[in-house]
Amino acid sequence: MKRLSIKMRVTAWFTIVMLVIATVMFFLMVENRIRQVTNEAEQSLIKNVTDFSGGMSSKQFMRVVQEDSKTKNAPSDLSEPPPAPEKPDDNFRKPNMYGKGIHYEVYNEDGELIMGKIPFDFEDTQFDDGKVRTVVSESEKYLVYDKKTVMQDGQAVWVKGVTNLSASLNAVNVTKTSDFLIIAALILIAAAGGYLIVKRALAPVQKMSLTAQKISTGNNLSQRIALGEGKDEIYQLANVLDNMLERIECSFESEKQFTSDASHELRTPVAVINSECEYALDCAKTGEEYNESITVIKRQADKMSRLISELLMISRMDKNTLDVNFERVNLSELLEAVCDEQRELHETRLIVEIQKDVSAMADEMLIARLFINLISNAFDYGADGEYVKVCLLKDKENIYFSVEDKGIGIAGDEIERIWERFYQVSKSRNNEKGNMGLGLSMVKEIAQMHKGNLRVESEPGKGSTFYFTMPQNV
Ligand code: ADP
């Protein structure tokens, strides 16, 4: 079976819960109304029967009974004739045997009916003084109340009041149906409203899912959810996802760029080696010519080997699989050694200002590579006849390393880009020296691994100074 959408499920749950609550409330309300109606009917019955029997003076009552007995020509238990009224037409008035929904009957002490008649189809010969009883007859419900009244002459009569409760309850039943229909309509309206609210609330989620689908089915990482400004959690989530997509796209693009740059860098030496081999095979005749070809091939092979080892290192750094061994390193000694080596490789004057015993927690091999890259760049891009100056200092917390040259410098708009992989300001000049534009990107990664900071100050034609600062304890 197809699973319902979240919208439908939330709406269904909401409707079911509403339905249960409304049903329980409805039955409680109806029950309450029935109890109220019954209570009111009971109170009215008690009051009216009490009024009926006690409302008239006993003297009058006796006369009424006597009159009624005469009319019916039936023997009455009230055998003693009532005292004759002083005037035949005094305030005597026959009581009304029906009023306010109550029928009255008067019985003598032996239970014989002497006045009134209840028009309902039920026999009730029971008398229970001052108690309301419920009598059910042919699916109709009646309330019966008996009241014993003692006459002036000492004889007693029973007054029985009967009211049809079903008639009052029918009114409750009629409103029950209409109430139920109103509640059902309200629940339907609430369910429809709930569905619309949920649909609206989940619209951004649908947009996210559509964007994710487009990205996964196509190859376009530039898609964004772009919900715009909003404060709720869904908007925050969409913004986080958009930022994440931005970063994924960037790293995907730079990965692509890196692969294409790496293949490009490798293709050139391979092509040179190939053509040099062909030349040697087809054209070289003397030992000198072979020697020349082999020298070219060796230079290109060295370049390839250097490139491959740098690529390997970068890939290990990216994957965090590089073996890093942090220990206390005497940077002053390490830098002295690097400078001695560089001095032998280059003709430009090297000025060294190294404070004694500067040490830090570092990976010796990586920090040495950072020093070598920055110092060899200063020689490569420095000016003949000028100098390269290397400084190493420390304070309580940090170490400060700088390399200064008086060379070609870097234009302002290039400064940000020199840290990118394979980026070279001037390709032709660098290729002569076998440079590949990977050095500074590695320096940047090494600095980050040591929680250090890198910056450069440079002016085209005047020279550059690279600064590296790192804490003594990483
Ligand atoms: P490369 O192998 O080309 O030297 P790097 O990553 O070390 O690669 O440097 C990137 C680019 O930054 C270089 O190609 C060069 O244009 C520029 N650059 C680096 N150091 C200096 C410097 N000291 N002076 C001028 N330009 C520099």
Q: What is the pLDDT of residues 310-354, one digit of tens each?
A: 899 888 888 888 889 999 999 999 999 999 999 999 989 999 999
Mean pLDDT of 21-46: 91
**pLDDT value at residue 169:** 85
**pLDDT value at residue 116:** 82
Which DSSP category does 162 fall into? E
Neighbouring C-alpha atoms within 13 Å toward the C-beta of 258: 17
Dist. CA 157–CA 112, nearest whole Å:
10
Mean pLDDT of 16-41: 91
**Hey, which of 424, 431, 432 would you mutate to test ligand 1's pocket, going by the most ligand atoms within 8 Å of its Cβ?**
424
Does 364 have pLDDT greater than 90? yes
**pLDDT value at residue 68:** 61
**pLDDT value at residue 401:** 98
With a Cβ cut-off of 6 Å, ligand 1 is lined by 373, 377-378, 381, 405, 407-410, 418, 423-426, 430, 435-441, 464
What confidence tier does 59 reach under pLDDT thresholds 50, 70, 90?
low
CA-closest residue to ligand 1 atom 20 = 377
Give one DSSP letter per residue of 186-225, joined into a string.
HHHHHHHHHHHHHHHHHHHHHHHHHHHHHHHHSS-TT---
Which bin fits 156, alpha (ψ -120 to 50), beta or left (φ > 0)? Answer: beta
**pLDDT value at residue 71:** 60
Average pLDDT for the chain: 86
**pLDDT value at residue 75:** 46
Residue reference for tokens 């996964």:
216
Dist. CA 351–CA 359, nearest whole Å:
21
**pLDDT value at residue 447:** 96
- How remote is the CA of residue 295 from the centroid of ligand 1, in Å? 26
- How remote is the CA of residue 173 from the centroid of ligand 1, in Å? 94
Mean pLDDT of 212-229: 83
Range from 124-128, 177-181, 252-256, 330-334 that averages highest in pLDDT: 330-334
CA-closest residue to ligand 1 atom 7 = 439
**pLDDT value at residue 76:** 43
> What amino acid occupies position 336?
E
- How remote is the CA of residue 341 from the centroid of ligand 1, in Å? 20
3-state secondary structure of 61: helix
Q: Over pLDDT 70: what percentage of the chain?
A: 89
CA-closest residue to ligand 1 atom 25 = 409
Ligand 1: atom nearest CA of 424 is: 14
**Hey, which of 374, 403, 418, 430 would you mutate to test ligand 1's pocket, going by the most ligand atoms within 8 Å of its Cβ?**
418
**pLDDT value at residue 60:** 67
The end-to-end CA distance of the chain, in Å, is 59
Q: Do 128 and 115 form a contact (C-beta atoms < 8 A)?
A: no
Mean pLDDT of 103-118: 84
**Hey, which of 440, 442, 443 would you mutate to test ligand 1's pocket, going by the most ligand atoms within 8 Å of its Cβ?**
440
**pLDDT value at residue 78:** 44
Does 231 have pLDDT greater than 80? no
> What amino acid occupies position 196?
L
C-alpha closest to that of 37 among 26, 45, 47, 25: 45
Does 84 have pLDDT greater than 60? no
Does 77 have pLDDT greater than 60? no
Mean pLDDT of 362-388: 95
Q: How many CB atoms lie within 10 A of CB 464?
A: 23
Mean pLDDT of 282-293: 91
Residue reference for tokens 């000016």:
383
Range from 172-181, 231-240, 256-265, 440-449 that averages highest in pLDDT: 440-449
Does 284 have pLDDT greater than 90? no
- How remote is the CA of residue 227 from the centroid of ligand 1, in Å? 42
| Paired strand residues for 330 | 359
CA-closest residue to ligand 1 atom 27 = 381
- How remote is the CA of residue 357 from the centroid of ligand 1, in Å? 30
More confident residue, 198 or 469: 469
Sheet of 463-471: strand order equals 349-354, 387-394, 398-405, 463-471, 453-459
CA-closest residue to ligand 1 atom 13 = 424
**Close Cβ partners of 106 (under 8 Å, ≥ 6 residues apart):** 65, 68, 113, 114, 115, 116, 157, 158, 159, 160
What is the distance of C-alpha 346 from the center of its chain? 63
Mean pLDDT of 110-137: 84
Does 67 have pLDDT greater than 80? no
Does 429 have pLDDT greater than 80? no
Ligand 1: atom nearest CA of 435 is: 2
Weakest mean pLDDT among 29-43, 160-174, 409-423: 160-174
Phi/psi at 110 (nearest 5 deg)?
Answer: -85, 5
Question: Per this entry, what is the length of the chain?
Answer: 474
**pLDDT value at residue 428:** 57
Q: Do 335 and 446 form a contact (C-beta atoms < 8 A)?
A: no
More confident residue, 395 or 319: 395
Q: How many CB atoms lie within 10 A of CB 65?
A: 21
- How remote is the CA of residue 467 from the centroid of ligand 1, in Å? 14
CA-closest residue to ligand 1 atom 8 = 437
C-alpha closest to that of 5 among 217, 202, 210: 202
Does 82 have pLDDT greater than 70? no
**pLDDT value at residue 79:** 46
Phi/psi at 409 (nearest 5 deg)?
Answer: 70, 175
